[in-house]
């Protein structure tokens, strides 16, 4: 008899990743949808449609795991506030279960990504760890004493909204702050700084690409940096150093054994992580800076999917380990 499978989904600021996850935590039947700019009902309909597609590929699926980029109140089972998606003040699990007819385990997307890395990946065996997912924004999650740390209401871990510059740019989406780590060190920030660099250096490969009508996205800047364009490389390095400054502050506060970096911007690899590590080594305090490892997520962009799969399996097994709420 085949092992049971679950459906797993990872909703970011602009896209939804989905797949069928087996008991070996291998992802099959992948799906990808753009979800930026939708109204709430449209977004929930897309979520339900994508779940239905997964059910068609895996009719034996026993549960759904879902990560969303939102501050969560676990006591009330409420998605309280999402900077990027229209999920504010929503009983997300109940709303999705009503549409899909399967039990739904759900959590903050970066919590689930760190769950995957803690159980099976780059943070395995760590007692104190944190994770940053670098994409449209910056998600954060914490492990303290070997367990996901959620705070009094379940809303802890919004590390991307740590203010690092009171006079910095306005933060993205519905965040009321200025100079959050997210706005200066995310994939979006790579694109914004890339547009500035392209205008200043029109004869560079980046300048030519933007001048020929290509949007200055984080993906474009990263691709050109990896291909050797010096101007694009300088942009990624700048954002990497900003990221490192944020990591150094978090290292000073939490003294983690490991900081795991995931998300789509990790396509830049060591071009981003190298400068970040250098700043941590230069500016974090001892002994924390001498002990911490800053490493890429083992599961890469799949960390959220794998974590959602773990949560769904644990729900199907009766709520052992990570427990769901409604």
Say how far apart CA 221 and CA 234 lie, in whole Å.
Answer: 10
Residue 45 CB coordination number (10 Å): 13
For the residues of 216-252, what is the DSSP string, one character each? --HHHHHHHHHTT-HHHHHHHHHHHHHHHHHHHHHHH
Say how far apart CA 33 and CA 35 lie, in whole Å.
Answer: 6
pLDDT in tens, the chain (326 residues): 457 899 999 998 888 999 999 988 999 999 999 998 899 999 999 999 999 999 999 999 999 999 999 988 988 889 998 888 999 999 999 999 999 999 999 999 999 999 999 999 999 999 999 999 998 899 999 999 999 999 888 888 899 999 998 998 999 877 899 999 999 999 999 999 999 999 999 999 999 999 999 999 999 999 999 999 999 999 999 999 999 999 999 999 999 999 999 988 888 899 999 999 999 999 999 999 999 999 999 998 899 999 999 999 999 887 544 443 32
pLDDT number for residue 2: 59
Say how far apart CA 104 and CA 102 lie, in whole Å.
Answer: 6
Domains and CATH numbers, the chain: 6-113+302-316 (3.30.420.40), 125-297 (3.30.420.40)
Asked if 184 contacts 196 with a C-beta cutoff of 8 angstroms, the reply is: no
The CA distances from residue 30 to 16, 33, 59, 92, in Å, are 11, 10, 15, 23
Asked if 198 contacts 204 with a C-beta cutoff of 8 angstroms, the reply is: yes
pLDDT number for residue 75: 85
**What is the spatial order of strands in the sheet that 258-262 belongs to?**
147-148, 138-144, 129-134, 258-262, 293-296
Say how far apart CA 57 and CA 50 lie, in whole Å.
Answer: 11
Say how far apart CA 251 and CA 297 lie, in whole Å.
Answer: 17
Spell out the SS3 assignment of 9-72: EEECCCEEEEEEECCCCCEEEEEEEECCCCCHHHHHHHHHHHHHHHHHHCCCCCCEEEEECCEE
Radius of gyration of the chain (CA): 19
Asked if 118 contacts 126 with a C-beta cutoff of 8 angstroms, the reply is: yes
Say how far apart CA 312 and CA 8 lie, in whole Å.
Answer: 8
Q: What is the β-pairing status of strands 258-262 and 27-34?
A: unpaired
């Amino acid at each position: 008899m085949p092992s049971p499978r679950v459906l797993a989904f990872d909703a970011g600021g602009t896209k939804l990743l989905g797949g069928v996850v087996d008991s070996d935590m291998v992802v099959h039947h992948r799906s990808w949808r753009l979800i930026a700019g939708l109204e709430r009902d449209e977004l929930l309909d897309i979520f339900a449609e994508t779940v239905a597609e997964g059910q068609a590929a895996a009719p034996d699926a026993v549960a759904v795991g879902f990560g969303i980029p939102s501050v969560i109140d676990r006591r009330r089972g409420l998605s309280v506030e999402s900077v990027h998606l229209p999920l504010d003040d929503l009983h997300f699990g109940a709303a999705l279960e009503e549409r899909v007819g399967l039990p739904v385990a759900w959590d903050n997307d970066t919590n689930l990504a760190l769950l995957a890395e803690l159980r099976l990946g780059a943070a395995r065996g760590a007692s104190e760890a944190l994770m940053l997912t670098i994409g449209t924004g910056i998600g954060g999650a914490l492990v303290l004493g070997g367990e996901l740390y959620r705070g009094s209401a379940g809303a802890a871990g919004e590390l991307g909204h740590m203010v690092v510059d009171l006079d910095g740019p306005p933060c993205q989406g519905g965040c009321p702050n200025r100079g959050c780590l997210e706005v200066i060190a995310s994939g979006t920030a790579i694109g914004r700084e890339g547009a500035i660099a392209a205008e200043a250096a029109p004869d560079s490969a980046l300048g030519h690409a933007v001048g020929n009508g290509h949007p200055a996205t984080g993906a474009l800047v990263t691709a050109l940096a990896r291909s050797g364009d010096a101007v694009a490389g300088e942009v990624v390095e700048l954002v990497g150093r900003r990221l490192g400054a944020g990591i150094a502050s978090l290292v000073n506060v939490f003294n983690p054994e490991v900081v795991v970096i995931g998300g789509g911007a990790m396509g830049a690899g060591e071009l981003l992580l190298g400068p970040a590590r250098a700043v941590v080594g230069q500016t974090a305090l001892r002994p924390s800076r001498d002990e911490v490892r800053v490493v890429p997520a083992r599961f890469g962009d799949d960390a959220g999917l794998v974590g959602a799969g773990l949560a769904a399996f644990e729900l199907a097994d009766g709520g052992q380990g990570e427990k769901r709420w409604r």
